[in-house]
Homo-oligomer: A and B are copies of this chain.
């Protein structure tokens, strides 16, 4: 049973080593981890734009062959998850995959968004928090944009929140492993 492992680890200095660590953990729980790294894809003779398109379609094909997705939604260059990861979660959800996720930052989405703003948010006349552009800061008490969490919940998945030291924010796999444990329970039922 194949699991697609989504997340910003593809941007780490050694994405192949990061992929191997996830694959090994998947195997320990009885699953096959699918963790695309660009090195697996033949990009010979392609322009940078063509290469990017090829990688994206390769990733989509990988997701189509999986029964579940475990997404690392640790905030990436802003208060939210990596958008490529969010895209893959939506893609997997539409295909009926079980969508699980973990984040290595447990602070609420509202808090993170507030802290990321250059100009402090204000509570407007309608009693809602708004940034300097007048854009709403949501206060649902959830971990990221509601589309992500709603897809996780509806798919029968789970969201695991951990707090780790900043230097291992993109490499700590305790949340990933907790997702694997939950998935094994789900499959056994």
Contact = CB atoms under 8 A, between A and B. Distances in A.
Contact of A140 (B48, B57, B80, B142): B48
A176 B144 CA distance: 26
Tally of this chain's copies? 2
A126 to B, nearest CB: 8
Interface string A136-172: 1011111011111111011000000000000001100
Contacts of A51: 140
Q: How large is the interface on A (under 10, 10 to 19, 20 to 34, 35 or more residues)?
A: 35 or more
Interface string A79-107: 11111101111111111000000000000
A131 B148 CA distance: 26
A77 B155 CA distance: 28
19 contacts: A11-B135, A12-B135, A13-B124, A52-B142, A55-B150, A56-B149, A60-B151, A77-B80, A77-B116, A78-B80, A80-B83, A83-B144, A83-B147, A83-B148, A84-B148, A92-B94, A94-B94, A133-B169, A135-B170
Given A57-B150, A88-B90, A94-B95, 18 more contacts: A48-B141, A52-B146, A54-B150, A56-B150, A56-B151, A60-B151, A77-B78, A77-B80, A77-B113, A84-B86, A84-B145, A84-B146, A86-B90, A87-B93, A87-B151, A92-B94, A94-B94, A133-B170
Interface of A: 8, 10-13, 48-49, 51-57, 59-60, 63, 76-84, 86-95, 113, 116-117, 124, 130-131, 133-136, 138-142, 144-151, 153-154, 169-170
